Amino acid sequence: MNVYEAILKRRSIRRFKNKPVGYDILEKCVNAARLAPSAMNMQPCEYIVVDKKELVEKVFESVILSGSIPEKQPAAYIIILVNQNVRKDGYKHDVGLAAENIILTALENGIGSCCVGAFNEEKLRSLFSIPHNYIIELVIALGYPDEEPIVEDVKDSTNYWYDENGTRHVPKRKLKSLLHRNEF
């Protein structure tokens, strides 16, 4: 699968199989993240890989992963931190680029993912003894997919929905509705 094919295939996964993800894959994802572009090459991002079952369950209780059910929870998480001693602001692009590298590397290895921006920061900070000079910016849920969301053109809303079989449908805007060439 080439990069463009991976991008076309990638969907946020909210239901995962009860199967562990090998640490070698998780480490590979973080290595891909560290190689992402970084503004002024400051590299403020650091990462916590969570793959110990008891800790994964505690993270699951600390995040809002829309559409998940307890027995379909992820096998692992990668928490993206920003070291404020390196950079206090202007790091959002770094985080996004690192996250996309994680997601695409995971997909290449058969692992589904879901970026989670809604979480209980204090619970996570306490659980992992994260110093206060670090911002918990993003949590990425990872695991073997137990769903195959369908992409479709937007009709009335961009809200995803489930059909009678429990399949998630993800409406996306048509390319022609957002692409402008040489003028607006």
Separation between Cα atoms, residue 170 and residue 82, nearest integer Å: 30
Asked whether the predicted pLDDT for residue 34 surpasses 90, the reply is: yes
Helices (H), 20-170: 23-34, 53-62, 92-108, 121-127
**Cβ distance 130 to 122 under 8 Å?**
no
Q: Residue 146: pLDDT above 80?
A: yes
Alpha-carbon separation of residue 58 from 73, 81, 100, 125 (angstroms): 11, 18, 24, 12
Write down the domain spans for the chain. 3-148, 149-184
What are 179's two structure tokens? 């692409």
CATH classification number, 3-148, choose in 3.40.109.10, 1.10.260.30, 3.90.960.10, 3.60.15.10: 3.40.109.10
Please tell me the distance from the alpha carbon of residue 161 to that of residue 48, in angstroms, as a whole number: 32
Spatial CA neighbour of 134 closest among 85, 173, 183, 76: 85
The pLDDT, as a whole number, for residue 49 is 98
pLDDT tens digits for range 86-120? 999 999 999 999 999 999 999 999 999 999 999 99
Average pLDDT over residues 67-73: 81
Q: Which fold has domain 149-184?
A: putative fmn-dependent nitroreductase like fold (2.20.180)
Q: Is the pLDDT of residue 85 over 80?
A: yes
- Is the pLDDT at 67 greater than 80? The verdict is no
State the burial class of residue 127 (Cβ atoms within 10 Å of its Cβ: 0-12, 13-18, 19+): middle
